[in-house]
Structure 1
Amino acid sequence: MDGSATTFGSSQTRSPNPLSGAIHTPLSSPNRTNQAVAQEVANLFRQGRQGEAVAVLNNQKQAQPPAVQQALDRMVSAELQYSISPNSAYNGLNLFASPAEIGTAIRQINEAGSEPPEMPDTSTLSDQQKFDVYASIVQTRGDQAAQNDLANGNSVIVGLRAETNTLENRGRGAYDDRIAVISRDANGTVHVEEFNQVSTEPSAQYDANLASHPDNRFRRPVGVDVTGDGIRDQGRLATPQTIQMYEDTHRNPVSAGGTDFALRPTQLAVNQGQGGIERFTAGTGYVDNSNPATNDDLNRTFKIHSGSRTNTDSAGCTTVHPNDYVRFENSIRTNPGQTTWNYLLTEVSP
C-alpha cells in the first residue's frame, strides 16, 4: 500500500467553505492525536466535505513515517465502518484538495480497512506511534472483544504473520513473524512491547505429509486427518482471527517433566472457533488452493509458548524465542486483574 501523502503547508489560506457558510481552516489546528484527527476526518467525509477531509488527513500525515501514515488510514476506515467513493458534486468549487488527491486518499483508506497491513517498520517510532500502528490493526482486523480490552486498559496481543514455507530451516521453522503486546492506562499512558523472533506457523518436522521430504528432519506426526487418507494433517491458526486465551502451561522441551508458562484458547474461544484452523494437506509446505478440505475448527492445543533457540518447536502453535519469552510473559501483565487475553493474529501483505 502506498503510504505517501500530499504535503499541505499550514500557512496556506483557504476560501470560505461553501458547505458551512463560514471560514474553515482545517490545517491551522494545534497538534492533536492521530485518533482525534481520524475522527475529524471521518466526520468530514460523512458530511460530504471530502476535500477538507483529505486536506486534514494529509496534513496530519506530513513528516510522519510510512507506518504511521498507514495507521491513520486504518483509523479513518475504522471510524467510518464503510467504504467511501469520490463525490463529484462539488468538483466545480474551490476544494481543499484536488480530485486526484481525493481519489488517492479514498483508495488508500478503503484498502487500509479491507486488506492485510504491511509488516510495519517501527524502528524509529515513539511508543505512542507504535501504539497507534498496532491499535489501528486491532481496529480493522480484530473483533469487538479485543477493541473493548484496549478501551478498558487490558493488554491485547497482536500477531503479524509473514507467510513462510514450513520446510524452512530443514523443517525446524523460522522466527520471522512478530508479536506486539499493547495496552493503554486510564491516564493515557501507552505500553508497547515488540517481539520480532516469533513463529505463528507450524514446522514441517511435525507434518506427516512431508515425512519423506529430503529437506525435512521429520520427528513425529501432529495433526488431524481431515481428508480421510489416514495421514494426520498439520494445522495453523487461520487469519484474521481473534482468540481469547488464558494462562496455562506447556511442556519444557529441555527440562524432563518440567513446564513453562503458556497461553491456551479458552473454552469460549473453542466454542466460537468454527473454521479457525487451516490444515496443510497437499504436502507443499504451504496452505494454498491445492489443499483440499483445509478448514477445521479451533481446539485447545493451539497455544502461545516458548520455542527453542534453533528450533521453533511449533506444530501449529505460536512460539516465541526463549531469549524473549520472559519479557513476553511480563508484558501481558500490565493490568494485574487481567485473566484472559485477546490474541489477534493477521497475515501481512507481501
Structure 2
Amino acid sequence: MTGTDVRAGSCRYLLNQQTLIQNSLKIIRAIDYINISKNDYYVLFIACYLHDISMVTFPDLDSIQSGGFESNKIYSDFVKNIREELKKSNLAKRPVKRLLKEYYLKVDSFYEKLVRENHAKNSATEIRNRHELGFIDSALREIVAEVSEAHGYNVNDIYKIKSTASSKLWSQKFTKIILRLADLLDMSNYRVSALVLNHNLDNMGDTSRFHWLSHLITKGYEIETDYYLDENKTVNFLEKNSIVEKIMLRVDVELPQLTHENPYGCKEMGLESIDKTAIKVKCGETCTSDKCNFLCKWFVQKNYYLFLELASLQDYLESLPDNYFKPEIEVVVNSSDKNKLSSKQFTLLKKYVDGR
C-alpha cells in the first residue's frame, strides 16, 4: 500500500477491530495449550482496538530530509535524472512533469514504508502517552502497550523467550501470540471495496494493488482442530505426544485452481498436495521458482508472515515439556470454480507474483 492508502485506510482500521477479537477467540478455542485468564482477555481486547492506533496519524514530513539511505537515494536519483533531462531537453515541460509524477510515487512510498515499518513501536508510544487514553489505568496501559508493540516483533523475540505465565497475573507470551495471529488472519475481502479498487486500479502502486486484489479474492477462513493417535507410538498411547493435535487453517479464495498438476515437485514451496478444488501447504516455506503452482505461489507470497508465524508456533508447542499433544499445523486453500478478478486484474496480479 502507498502512504495515501495508509491514510485512506485509517477509517477501515477503526471498523476492523471487532474482527480481531473474533479471530482471537477462534485461536483460543482451536489450540488446547493456550489458556488465558479473564485479565488476559481484558488486555487482549483493548490491544485489538489500539495496536494499530498510529496508522491513523500522518507521517513526519521532515523525515525525508534525514540522512537515511532511502531518502538519500531518492535525492541522488532525482538530481541525476534532472541533469540528464537538462542535457536532453533543457527541462522541457512534458518530461519534467513525468519525472514529478514518478518521484511523487517514490516519495509517497517512502512515507508509507516509514509508517508501516514503525507502526507497532509508534502505536505503543501513543498508547502510553495519548491523553485521550487517560481513563485506562497507567499500569494496565503499559501492559497493553507491550502486547501491542509485540505484533511487530521478530518471531524469535516472541517464541524463544521463556514464558512466566503461571507466576504472573497476566500471560504476556500467550496474549502476544494471540494478537499476532489474529492480526495476520485479518485477510478477508471486507477490508477492501471492489468499487474503489476498480476506479483506482491504474493509479495504484504495484504493491498496493497486489494487496487490494489479494484481499478482494479472499472470502474468509475457519480453524478446525482434530485429535487422533500417532501411528508411530505403538508402545504406550498414554505417553507424551502420543495423541496428535491437528490444527487446520482452511482459507476460501475466489480464484480457480488453474494448474491441477505440479510435475516439478514445487520443492521451494513445500506444496504437499493439490487437486481441482484445494491446495495444502506446509508452514514456514517460501517460493522462488517460476515453475510452482500459481495459486500456491500467490497465497504463500501474500501470507508470508502468517506461514512464518505458524511454523514458529508449531515448533514452540512441540518444544513444551508439559504439552501432552503433538502439534501439527496445516493450511488448506480452497479454490473456486469462478474467478472474481477480471482478465485485467488477474494479469496484474500474476505479473506481480511472477516478478517478485
TM over 0.5: no
Q: Which has the higher strand share?
A: 1
Which structure shows the higher helix fraction?
2
